[in-house]
Structure 1
Amino acid sequence: MSSLKDRLRADLTTAIKARDEVRSGTLRMVLTAITNAEVSGKVARELTDEDVIGVLSAEAKKRREAAVAFEDGHRPDRAAKERAEAAVIADYLPEQLSPEEIADVVRAAIEQTGAAGEGMRAMGKVMGVVTPQVKGRADGAAVAAEVRRQLGAA
């Protein structure tokens, strides 16, 4: 049983009792996404905390992208709602890495793989090493941009 999932359920109950509509609505959506992930595929399974963090990261990314889309569509009210939901989800994600920390992880991965002189051809090799290290703690697009920057500079 996932302790993170238990915490989400307990916090949902607390949010409902406190009549916190943003938090309770967001937690309901997240728990639904977790349940959907558990029953997708050929065999239903219980998600580990790491799997739950993956679902939370995906949901947070959806909220960030939707907020940008609503801003572009001149809907600041909806963008604010998406950002509020993203903030609730962020409470359950591990501490996010700073740009400097991402750069350090990428630099170490380039050294480890010996990809320094290969340029952009080594992108997949470096991302394969970096991705498991930053899973749930950094946005994949930011990591990929840093890998591109460092490989391009190499």
Structure 2
Amino acid sequence: MRKRSWGFVAVGLLVALVLAGVVSNYASSHPDGLDSSLLKGCTVNADDEITGGSCPARQAKDHELADSPLADYGIRGVDNGFLSTGLSGVVGVLLTFAVGGGLFWLLRGRRPAGGDGQPAGTDGGARDDRQPAGTAG
């Protein structure tokens, strides 16, 4: 990758890390449209726990990975909510970058045996317009 491309990737990664680590803490904690529609018909308390009524959300179950270290937009064991959310976002960005970068590295085009970065059969853009001996121009 060219030096200019590395700079672009580095700036993009830095922006993603700042957004995930800081700005994500200011996202709305209110339920989105799907959550709201599943709660119709139920009464909920201040902690968004269902206290009565009948709604589809009553049948909800925890996901199999609900006990994982990064579950529920936080890191298990970190008591500070702001720090927990920010760290989980940073870890998520770094994991995504690592997987994406690894896939890019595996799937990228290979360089020719010469290793000069030029496609096989080229001389780096220099043209030779001379005709081989014995041919008509």
TM-score (norm 1): 0.25
Higher strand share goes to which structure? 2
TM-score (norm 2): 0.27
Higher helix share goes to which structure? 1
